[in-house]
Amino acid sequence: MTLIDRRMGLFLAGLFVIAVAVPAGNLAFQDQLVPSYMVSLLGKYLCYALLAVALDLVWGYCGILSLGHGAFFALGGYAMGMHLMREIGPRGVYGNPVLPDFMVFLNWKELPWYWHGFDMFWFACLMVLLVPGLLAFVFGWFAFRSRVTGVYLSIITQAMTYALLLAFFRNEMGFGGNNGLTDFKDVLGFNLQSDTTRAGLFVLSALALAAGLLIAKAITVSKLGKVLIAIRDAESRTRFLGYRVEHYKLFVFVVSAMMAGVAGALYAPQVGIINPGEFSPANSIEIVIWVALGGRGTLVGAALGAVLVALTKTLLTGWIPELWLFALGALFIFVTLFMPKGVLGVIEAGFSRGSRRRAVDLEHGMETDPPTKEAKA
């Protein structure tokens, strides 16, 4: 299999067009072609798409149904949020050059040790990868070595997420309590409220999604990917053949967690806040719905599913917010019963039927053509 097949090529081409057209259109027209709030909203959707690709890598190709990827996403967001809070400096409400406003309000006297280093951008970027990756490594090491699989693994991943939710809600943890981290001013000296910065973050989100898709695709088409699929389809048989199944699962789980962390890091500055609500178990379940709707085990379908559900959520919460969760549940049931291969599977099946029909019509037309004069002679 090639790294960029037709499906991947079409998606990346469309992503490139959008990433170029939106900023270029806003520069070309005096009145913005795409409003600033819409640029940030589209950037948020792309972050969700990267998160869905991360989950599809472990669920669609290795059979690990993780209900804890919302935690990895949130940890990446908190790592970037801590840097953005340190960047505020004396411009905060209380004017403290070292302590964030919420720490001054809570009468903290000094900066906690785990906040040191986050004033440096490179350190924050490193933590965006290391914190989710390290948590996934420790969790996966114990879970996979203990051969926890199936619904039991899903339950303990959700338990991990819920435990982090409760921990980050506590003011004593030093992460802003239930309010989280907010009131970000700038990143690398660029004002987060400016149209140029928003466009830059949007383009970065598109590039991150493209990179995530290519990395995931490279893994799945390699020999490693074939082993992952074998683990998904017959784990016991794969282990019997001599493969260290837990090592393969641990590797792909860590890579997936780091991808989710990058998505969270790009999400925080575009939304302007990161709080414990991102650890909500409902968020992790929603990610599963994105992947199922788009098409499990397709990567591109997972990204499309994330964008479709997020767009639907934006529209429905504006019109009928009290019915959104019911609509989401009904959507998941419908996809499970009638669209087991997701939206992408339905689209590709439609194209396949159309191609076969055209081929049959062409063959039938050739058989029924009247004989030429030469043939009569």
How buried is residue 333: exposed, middle or buried, by Cβ count under 10 Å (0-12/13-18/19+)? exposed
CA dist., res. 152 & res. 50, Å (int): 26
Pairwise pLDDT comparison (344 vs 311), residue with the higher score: 311
Q: What angle do CA 269, 270, 275 make, to 5 degrees?
A: 60
| Residue 26 backbone dihedrals phi, psi, to 5 degrees | -70, -30
Strand pairing class (186-187; 273-274): unpaired
Q: How far apart are CA 2 and CA 202, in angstroms?
A: 28
Token digits of residue 149? 């699989």
Determine the Cα–Cα distance for residues 18 and 197; give it in Å rounded to an integer. Answer: 17
Kindly state the tokens that stand for 375.
């043939």
Q: Which residues, other chains included, contact 256 with Cβ-Cβ below 8 Å and sequence gap of 6+?
A: 54, 55, 57, 58, 66, 69, 72, 136
**298-341: per-residue pLDDT in tens?**
999 999 999 999 998 888 887 887 888 888 888 888 887 888 78
pLDDT at 377 over 70: no
* Per-state percent for the chain, helix, strand, coil, to nearest 5: 75, 0, 20
Average model confidence (pLDDT) for the chain? 90
For residue 210, give the H/E element and its range: helix 195-221
Structure-token match 């291969």, residue found:
341
CB atoms within 10 A of CB 204: 18
Q: Residue 363 CB: number of other CB atoms within 10 A?
A: 10
pLDDT in tens, 122-162: 999 999 999 999 999 999 999 999 999 999 999 999 999 99
pTM: predicted TM-score of the whole model, two decimal places: 0.91
Decide if 129 contacts 261 (C-beta within 8 A). yes
Residue that wins the pLDDT comparison between 321 and 266: 266
Encode pLDDT of 19-75 as tens digits. 999 988 888 776 778 888 899 999 999 999 999 999 999 999 999 999 999 999 999
The model's pLDDT over 88-111, given as tens digits with 9 standing for 90+, comes to: 989 989 989 999 999 999 999 999
Cα–Cα distance list, 236 to 38, 119, 139, 149, 245 (Å): 48, 48, 21, 11, 9
- Residue 370 — pLDDT band, cuts 50, 70, 90? low
